[in-house]
Structure 1
């Protein structure tokens, strides 16, 4: 039985975990794939340490950048695992996000590449359903596909 507050997605990427980590840990690289094209991503803060900030903005066309993620990293193990949440911001400051979630990202070495997995936890089944209906599989799947295209 699946957890009603959890959404998951995985994909094999034909690149080593070090390459996947570099795509996550360098702002200019993250901007290339983190949001489904043609929406543009801007990385404002990417402090990969517990308590470090994670802030991205998005823009469609020539409009202004709008909020996307304003969160906090809970764990950062190079080339293996990243965990962030939107219920805290940099320095462990409590937040009230439009969608509360905690994302657990793993980069597992497998068959000469990386099994990239995202496990996204929500505070309630209703929030999980809301995120799913917003297009979780399509949106996160597209972003992971862009990551694979960048690295393969």
Structure 2
């Protein structure tokens, strides 16, 4: 972790690691928590494997009209342990310049006496990108969706 380039988030989710993992890898469950409510998420592609795509759309509350949200690529998938994806390469393996910021996210899942130790590490290419992402509301946004993930996983535990 490089504090000049990276942003992190950690939370204990009171659910088994397999349940939290499934919320990340099952498209129907993923759509329920990935974008902060009340915005609605639609998952166009979620292939949790190295080289698999992660494509989502979002709708402002109505769930009818959807706009692009993210087009990313999984770099690493270690079953129930770690997911790594980037939006700097899209789901068709083309380099891209994503807005508002290019990033590589590493999500780790570990056993904890109370459930799952869930950690997010988001890497940026330079300090200005990291600072921009933080100012855009990294902690609020990623914190909100992590809370939604926890609510979903804990309700299924």
What's the TM-score bracket when you normalise by the shorter of the two chains? over 0.9
Paired residues of 2:13 and 2:114 also in contact (CA < 8 A) = no
**Paired positions, count:** 152
Task: Give unmatched runs, 5+ long, in structure 1.
Answer: none
Q: For the residues of structure 1 that align with 2:92 and 2:37, how far apart are their CA atoms?
A: 31
The Cα of 1:64 is off from its aligned counterpart by 2.1
Q: TM-score, normalised by structure 1?
A: 0.95
The Cα of 1:78 is off from its aligned counterpart by 1.3
Q: For the residues of structure 2 that align with 1:45 and 1:2, how far apart are their CA atoms?
A: 31
Q: For the residues of structure 1 that align with 2:2 and 2:95, how far apart are their CA atoms?
A: 29
Q: TM-score, normalised by structure 2?
A: 0.92
What do you get for the CA RMSD once the two structures are aligned?
1.4
Match of 2:130 among 128, 131, 136: 128
The Cα of 1:93 is off from its aligned counterpart by 2.2
Q: For the residues of structure 1 that align with 2:149 and 2:126, how far apart are their CA atoms?
A: 29
Q: For the residues of structure 1 that align with 2:70 and 2:149, how far apart are their CA atoms?
A: 18
Task: Give unmatched runs, 5+ long, in structure 2.
Answer: none
Paired residues of 1:51 and 1:91 also in contact (CA < 8 A) = no
